[in-house]
Amino acid sequence: MRLDCIFAVLGCAASFALVGCKATPPGKVEAAVVQWTKHTLTVRGTHDKNPIQSTADKIDAGKQAFGFYCVVCHGRDGQNTGVPFAGNMSPPIPSLASAEVQRYSDGQLKWIIENGLSPSGMPASKGILSDDDMWTIVVYLRHLPPAGSLGEPRAYSGEEYEK
């Protein structure tokens, strides 16, 4: 195919894609594109293996490490229980038990924890948590308790300054 021909085809495809976007509800299409981009391009570490075994001890250790600062945004159960602003962030804070999140490999979850997700509110833990802590948290993410079973984070009890 001649070069100008290829450009003509590409141009057509591009304008078709634009029309296609307008014709369908933008929210859904946008969300699907964002999900796809995150899962296949943004988030690295797909094949990194978790060196931590999923024993009862390690699940508990992961829960403790999650308790340091993940809970203020994700809730003690990783499912936003008691987090008042979870739905008001952009993008909203997802349930870590959801199929979308569980679809990531262990290596990808570790990558997300280490690097955060810019430009959303999901912070990077590099230099704050050790590699072992991050991998151990991944073990906990694979064994989250039933939603609501752990109550809400203490930070939201309103007792911060009470003696």
| Amino acid (one-letter) located at 40 | T
Question: Which residues, 103 to 142, sit near ligand HEC by CB under 6 A?
Answer: 109, 112-113, 117, 120-123, 125, 137
CA separation for the pair 126, 130 (Å, rounded): 8
CA separation for the pair 81, 5 (Å, rounded): 56
Site string (11-40) toward ligand HEC, x via CB under 6 A: ---------------------------x--
Structural tokens at position 20: 């296609």
Structural tokens at position 55: 């024993």
Question: Which residues, 58 to 97, sit near ligand HEC by CB under 6 A?
Answer: 66, 69-70, 72-74, 89, 91, 93-94, 96
Nearer to ligand HEC, 61 or 109 (CB): 109
| Amino acid (one-letter) located at 122 | M
Site string (90-109) toward ligand HEC, x via CB under 6 A: -x-xx-x---xx-------x
In a 3-state reduction of DSSP, which class is residue 57? helix
CA separation for the pair 71, 67 (Å, rounded): 6
What is the binding site for ligand HEC (CB under 6 A)? 38, 66, 69-70, 72-74, 89, 91, 93-94, 96, 100-101, 109, 112-113, 117, 120-123, 125, 137
